[in-house]
Amino acid sequence: MGLIHVVCKRNNEDAARIARSVVDRLGDAAEVWLDEGSSRKLNYEKTFEIEHVGEGADFILVLGGDGTLLSAARYVREKEVPILGVNLGGLGFLTEISVDELAEMLSLCLKGDYTVSRRTMLDAVVKREGDEIFALTVLNDAVITKDALARIIDIETYVDDQYLTTFKADGLILSTPTGSTGYSLAAGGPILYPSLSHIVLTPICPHMLTNRPIILPEEVAVRVRLRSPEERVILTLDGQVGFPLEYGDEVVVRTSPFKVNLIRSASKSYFEILRTKLLWGER
C-alpha cells in the first residue's frame, strides 16, 4: 500500500473538501496522511507536522496554489519526494494539475506511471561581519528590496570573485528558472525553461537603463553586499519568508545540490501552460 502526504492551502474550504474526498476515494488503495491543520479541521487521525512532510511518502499531494507548493517544497529539499500540485483557483504555474484531472492523476501516481520535472533550487545565505546568520533554500527566488519609503539602494554585486556592478535600484531578484515566470518576469526578466539550472539576476527599476537582466551559469555563486547605510532593506525568500538586512551584510546565492520533483500533467505541456497562463497569442 502506498503512502500519500496531503498538504492543503490554509483555511481553504475547497482544499479541505477535496482532501476528504481523496481519503474516501482511495479507501484501502493507499494510506493518506494530512497536514496538522487539515487533519484537525476534518477530525482525521492520520497526520504529520509540515516539517516532516514527505518522510516515507511515495508522493505529496498539494491542494491550493503556487504559494502552498512553494512552502511545502522548502521542507522537501533533502527528500526529493515527487509533488503533485493541484491548482484551486489562481494562476497556477507550479500547481498545473486541475481538479478535473485529479482522479486520473492519482490513479497514475499510485501505479508509478508519471513523469517529473526536476526543478533547481537556490541556497541563500546572509553573512554579517563574516558570520552566517541566516540561511534558506528556495524554489522560486531570493529578492532584495527597499522599504516602501526608502530611497534607491546600492547593491554591490559579484559573480564568484569577479565584480559585476553596483546596482542603484529599488532591488534585485535572484531567480531560478522556475521563478523566472514570477516576480522576475514582472520586472522585465526572461522566461527560462524550467528544467534548466541557471540563475537569473534581474534588477528592479534600475536607475541606469543599461542595467539589464543577466542569465548566469549554475556553478557560480552570486555575492551581493548592501551599500546603503541609512535605508531599510529586506531579503524576501519565495515571497513568504523575510529577513531584514543591515549595511554591509552580504547575501550569497548559489544553486542548491537539492532538486524539487514536480509531477507533470498527463494532458498539458509546459508551452501550453505558458499560452494559457500568459495568454500568449491573444489580442
Which amino acid would we find at residue 121?
Answer: M
- The owner of cell 477535496 is 18
Neighbours of 135 (CB within 10 A): 13
Residue 114 near residue 266, CB atoms below 8 Å: yes
From the candidates 24, 35, 66, 100, which is the catalytic residue?
Answer: 66
Q: Based on the number of CB atoms within 10 Å of its own CB, is 156 exposed (0-12), middle (13-18) or buried (19 or more)? A: middle
Which amino acid would we find at residue 219?
Answer: E
Residue 78 near residue 45, CB atoms below 8 Å: no
User: Taking the alpha carbons of 130, 249, 51, 94 in that order, is the dihedral positive or negative?
Assistant: negative
> Cα-flanking dihedrals φ and ψ of residue 105, to 5°?
-65, -40
Residue 6 near residue 14, CB atoms below 8 Å: no
Residue 183 near residue 236, CB atoms below 8 Å: no
Determine whether 66 is an active site residue: yes
Positions marked catalytic? 66
